[in-house]
Every structure is written in structure tokens, then in C-alpha cells.
Amino acid sequence: MIRRIMKAFALSEKGAKGFVQAVTACTVSDIALMFPVGLLYNMTTDLLGGRIGKERIAFYVIGILAAFALIYFTQYWRYNATFFTTYNESKERRITLAENLRKLPLSFFGNKDLSDLTNTILGDCTVIEHSFSHEIPQFYGSIFSTVIVAVSLFLFDWRMALASVWVLPVSLAIVGLSKKAQMKYNERKTKTKVELEDGVQEYLEASKDLKSNNAEDKYLQSFFKLANRYEKESMTAELGVAAYVVPAQMLLKFGIATTALVGSALLVKGSLALTTLFMFLIVVSRIYEPMGATLIYLGAKNAIQVNINRTNEMNNAGTQTGKTEFHPENCDIVFKNVAFKYNDGESVLRDVSFTAKQGEVTALVGPSGGGKTTVSRLAARFWDASSGKITVGGVDVSTIDPETLLGVYSIVFQDVTLFDNSIMENIRIGRQNATDEEVIAAAKLANVDEFADRLPDGYHTRIGENGALLSGGERQRISIARAFLKDAPIILLDEATASLDTENETLIQTALSRLIKNKTVLIIAHRMRTVAGADKIVVIKDGKAAEQGAPDELYARGGVFANMVNLQKQTN
């Protein structure tokens, strides 16, 4: 049962057990609220029978105090079991999602944008949290307690019980059968919400470009339309729930009428006691009022399935696993008949084979879109190859845990990601336990000291969000300093100097020449002068290794590489 609950509601094992406890607490607390009804029934019977004496008064006084105590403790248990358990599970859910993200291949992120993932971790988790603290346990608790009370009523008088409870299954069926429609409304609402959040993020990131091109008004007009659409979808989703819940709630009122009519008829015939009719009227009023809220809970339970499905999608996505022990004999990278396809079936690489030897610089060149970046990502197991084999030091990378594998890689991307922290801490990401002296030594190798010494607080200067206070070249040098500090035996350079001016490119090329000594180096480059000193060139074109060899050898062949060199010479 616990496993089914975990799957149905995207809960951990501890959360599923907490959910069972919460439902139990809600059931018991709902039944406890019926205790005063029993006292009132007995008191009325005693009053009409003239059996009220000191002993009976004492009994009812004690009974009332006991009822207060029972209700207090069951409500206290209910509060703790629903709210505290839910908030603890919500914390675990977010941590689990974040941990799972670490192990997902990049192919998963290729189908998701940042707003969608953020909405799952924050938005969907918040919706689930609210539902499990305010609605779902209460719904099941109400159902179980109502069934127990209804069975008791049938044991008491089946005719009156039938007249009282017939509306309950009918009302629940009306709302329950609307699940598909409510999910459809909520899916549209959630999709529009993600698009709206994506629009906000896009506007914030592109505000400079929009202002410089006088395009703000046009962009905001489309954004306002999206905001209006989200408002419309939200209202539609609410109305979609109300369209089923309100009629079901109205139907409950008929239960009071049928209870009174059937009870009156039986009373006139003399086959029902007045106290019994009185008791049934009290019980149905006690059942129908919370049942109205239960119908709302059921509507929320139907709608929340969309959020649960989105969370389960992330939890159940195929993660990359492998051995955590990795001790290769050397750091040669070997591609053997490697092919790769994205999830949509688009083929990116076909039968790629080459070797990047330790102590050599291997450059990947070729037309844009040919697959160079994909090759480098496969080498570091950001993705897994569709077929073929990639080895590092003779070990198949698909058998190694991605985080363990990345321990032997230092990667310098073209687009550097920095944090709103000091230069020192941004470099220390390369090796978290590094001393300040080690960080500064790595920074000097990357020529970071050239600009850090000019800043107000030196290496302790905060550089703004994503290094906003630094130039592109300065940000790139911090990235290279991280690689120096990590000192991994394999270096991946992804167009590290493509967008820099000549002065910055010279400084970074000097830093890179220090970084790559005696290591396995894989460089992605478009500028031919970047790969002039490479030991080996691999030309990736149309997803294949079209040519490979030493630069001079390939140029002499007059093939793809030679054509690329000549074209760049003409444009310089």
C-alpha cells in the first residue's frame, strides 16, 4: 500500500507513511465530533423519559468534559499529522528533486526550459504542499469517517439511513467523474503559467537589447497578451471545478429534505420514535456540512494530478549511474563508431571514431551544427551515446558515475557562469577545499591578478550577478583559473576565446598554454589560428569525422580543413 501511495502522490516512503497517519488522524477527529451527537441523543431520551437525576447529570457533565478533551486531542493530532508531516515531506520532495537533477543527462534538460523546471520545483511542490496540508488527508478522512457513521446509521435504522445518505455517493460521483475535464483545465493553466514565467525571465535577460532596439513596447504587448491568457485560463480552471462541485453541494441539501420527509412519514405511522428522528436530523446536518468541503477537496484532488504528474516526470526520468571508483591507466579519450540521437529521433552523430591522446592537443573543427559540441559533451558523459563506445584510459565512460568521471575533467566553456560572490570564491569552485594561497596561485596562472589587483577589495571584491561587473575577457580568465585550481588530467575547451578582442585573446591563450601542459586536451574551435598549434585535427562535418590528422597534413590534402583555413584567410 505504501508503494502505491508513493507512486500515486509523488511521496517519499516516509511521506507516504505520514500521509497514512494524517488520514487516520482526520478520520478519528471527524468521528470524535460525532461524540456530542450521541450525548445529545441520550440526554434528549432521558429528558423525554423523565430519567434525569443527579447521577445522570453528573454523567452528562463528565461526558461533555470528555467530549471536549477528546475533540481537543484529536484535533491536535490532526493538525500535527497534516501540517507538520506535509511540510517535512515538502522539504524532502524539493531536496529529492534537486538531487535527481544532478544525475539527469543533458538530454532531459534539452526538452525543458528553466522556467518549466523552476515551476516544478517551486510551483508544483507548493501546490502539492498546500493540498496535502489542507485538502487531501481531510478528503480521505471525511470519506472514511462518513462510511463508518453511515454503517452505524444503517445498523440503527436502515430506512432513515437510506433516506439520509443516498445523496453522498451521488454527489461524490458527480465531482469524481469530472477528473478528466478538471485535469485538462489545469494542464492548460499550468502550461500558460510556465509560458508567462518564461516571458518574465526572457524580458529580464533581454531588457538591454530590447531597450537598445526600441523593441520594448512590442515585446510587452505580447507579454500582456500572455498575462491575460493566464488570467483567463485560471478563471476557466476555477469555473471548471465549480461547474461540478456547486451542483453536487446543492444536491446534498436534498438529503436533509428526504430525511425529514421519510422520518415524518414513519413518525406518523408510529414506526419511528421522535428522538430517533431528532438524532438523524442532527447527524445529517453534521455530515452534510463537512461533506460540502469534502467535495471541494475532491475537486482539488482531481486538479492536483497535473502537478503530481509533472513532479513524477522529473523523479522518474532516467538518471545516469555507474561505478564511483575510477582509476584509468592513462587519460586517452577514444571514440569508436559512436552515434548519437536526441529523444526526438534527430541524428546528430554517425559512426564517429578518433583518439585524443594524453599529452596532445586534439582540436575539433568543422561547420556550425556539425556536431563538435556534442562530441565534447559525450566525452564528459553529459549525454550517453546511442551506439558505439567512448573510453577514457580504456574504461567505458557509460559505466562510470558522471560526477566521478567529471573529477578527471576541467571544462572551460565559451559562456562562463559566475556567482554574485567574490573573485576568490568564484575561483574556489574549482576545488572547494583549496586554501587562499592556492586560489591566488591559480588566479595568477590565468592572469586574473592583472585586473583583480585594480579592484577595491582585490580578490575579495564581489563581481555581481553572473560577473556583471567584469568584462568578457575577465570572466573567461576566472573560468580558466578554476580549471588551473582543479588541475584535472583532461581539459575540454569550448570556444574559450571566440568572442574576445585580440588583447584579451592573447592573454587567455597564454594562460591556456600553461593549463594544457602534459594533459589530454580537446579543443572546439572555429578560428583556425586557435588550433594552429594543435597536435591533431578532427574535422566533424554532418555528424561524421570527415578528416583527421596533423594540421599541416590535412591542409596539404586540400579537403574540408584546407577549405576552412582558406576561407578564414580571405576574410581576415
CATH number at 350 reads 3.40.50.300
Looking at the fold, whether 337 and 252 belong to one and the same domain comes out as: no
The structural domain count of the chain equals 2
- Domain contains 323: no
Mean pLDDT of the 514-540 span: 81
Of the residues 315, 350, 370, which one is the last residue of a structural domain? Answer: 315
- Domain contains 414: yes
Nearest 10 degrees: CA dihedral of 330, 331, 332, 333? 140
CA distances from 233 to 296, 350, 406 (A): 19, 44, 44
Mean pLDDT of the 257-286 span: 84
Looking at the fold, whether 486 and 564 belong to one and the same domain comes out as: yes
Mean pLDDT of the 121-126 span: 79
Looking at the fold, whether 353 and 469 belong to one and the same domain comes out as: yes
CATH of the domain at 237: 1.20.1560.10
Catalogue the E-assigned strands of 509-550. 520-524, 536-541, 544-549
Looking at the fold, whether 350 and 303 belong to one and the same domain comes out as: no
Does 337 have pLDDT greater than 90?
yes
pLDDT, one tens digit per residue, over 144-155 is 888 888 888 888
Looking at the fold, whether 287 and 409 belong to one and the same domain comes out as: no
Q: Please answer whether residues 489 and 360 qualify as being in contact, where contact means their C-beta atoms are separated by less than 8 angstroms.
A: no
Looking at the fold, whether 349 and 260 belong to one and the same domain comes out as: no
Q: Please answer whether residues 490 and 517 qualify as being in contact, where contact means their C-beta atoms are separated by less than 8 angstroms.
A: no
pLDDT, one tens digit per residue, over 546-563 is 889 888 888 888 888 888
Which of 356-360, 369-373, 405-409 has the weakest average pLDDT? 369-373
Q: Percentage of residues in the chain with pLDDT exceeding 70? A: 93
Q: Please answer whether residues 137 and 24 qualify as being in contact, where contact means their C-beta atoms are separated by less than 8 angstroms.
A: no
pLDDT band for position 470 (cuts 50, 70, 90): confident
Does 318 have pLDDT greater than 90?
no
Looking at the fold, whether 246 and 337 belong to one and the same domain comes out as: no
**What are the φ/ψ torsions at residue 175 (nearest 5 degrees)?**
-75, -40
- Domain contains 256: yes
Indicate yes or no: pTM above 0.75.
no
- Domain contains 320: no
Mean pLDDT of the 36-58 span: 76
For the record, the C-alpha cell of 136 comes out as: 487531501
What is the structure's pLDDT at 570?
67
Which of 221-235, 306-320, 430-444, 493-507 has the weakest average pLDDT? 493-507
Mean pLDDT of the 350-363 span: 90
Looking at the fold, whether 345 and 304 belong to one and the same domain comes out as: no
- Helix axis angle for 167-176 and 158-165, nearest 10°, is 30
Q: Please answer whether residues 338 and 361 qualify as being in contact, where contact means their C-beta atoms are separated by less than 8 angstroms.
A: no
* Lookup result for grid cell 509523488: 10
211 exposure class (CB count in 10 Å sphere: 0-12, 13-18, 19+): exposed
Domain holding 289, by residue range, is 2-315
What is the structure's pLDDT at 344?
59
114 contact partners, CB below 8 Å, separation of at least 6: 198, 201
For the record, the C-alpha cell of 238 comes out as: 476555477
- Domain contains 175: yes
What is the structure's pLDDT at 391?
93
Q: Which helix (H) or strand (E) covers residue 215, if one does?
A: none
Does 517 have pLDDT greater than 80?
no
For the record, the C-alpha cell of 476 comes out as: 573567461
Looking at the fold, whether 295 and 360 belong to one and the same domain comes out as: no
- Domain contains 396: yes
Of the residues 285, 315, 345, which one is the last residue of a structural domain? Answer: 315
In 3-state terms, what secondary structure has residue 518?
A: coil
Looking at the fold, whether 501 and 386 belong to one and the same domain comes out as: yes
Average pLDDT of every residue of the chain: 83
Q: Please answer whether residues 160 and 265 qualify as being in contact, where contact means their C-beta atoms are separated by less than 8 angstroms.
A: no
pLDDT, one tens digit per residue, over 368-398 is 878 888 888 899 888 888 899 999 998 999 9
* Lookup result for grid cell 577545499: 433
Looking at the fold, whether 297 and 362 belong to one and the same domain comes out as: no
Does 572 have pLDDT greater than 70?
no
Mean pLDDT of the 263-272 span: 86
- Nearest partner of 419 among 381, 385, 464, 461, judged by Cα: 464
Which of 279-288, 457-466, 536-545 has the weakest average pLDDT? 279-288
Amino acid present at 281: L
Mean pLDDT of the 457-472 span: 86
Of the residues 280, 315, 350, which one is the last residue of a structural domain? Answer: 315
- Domain contains 107: yes
Mean pLDDT of the 20-24 span: 90
pLDDT, one tens digit per residue, over 149-203 is 888 888 888 888 888 888 888 888 888 887 788 788 888 888 888 888 788 777 7
pLDDT, one tens digit per residue, over 65-114 is 998 999 999 989 988 888 888 888 888 888 888 777 777 776 677 666 66
Looking at the fold, whether 394 and 366 belong to one and the same domain comes out as: yes
pLDDT band for position 355 (cuts 50, 70, 90): very high
Mean pLDDT of the 458-480 span: 86
What is the structure's pLDDT at 107?
63
Provide the sign of the torsion angle of the four alpha carbons 110, 112, 113, 117, taken in this order. negative
pLDDT band for position 507 (cuts 50, 70, 90): low
C-alpha span between 162 and 167 (Å, rounded): 9
Q: Please answer whether residues 418 and 466 qualify as being in contact, where contact means their C-beta atoms are separated by less than 8 angstroms.
A: yes
- Domain contains 325: no
Does 500 have pLDDT greater than 60?
no
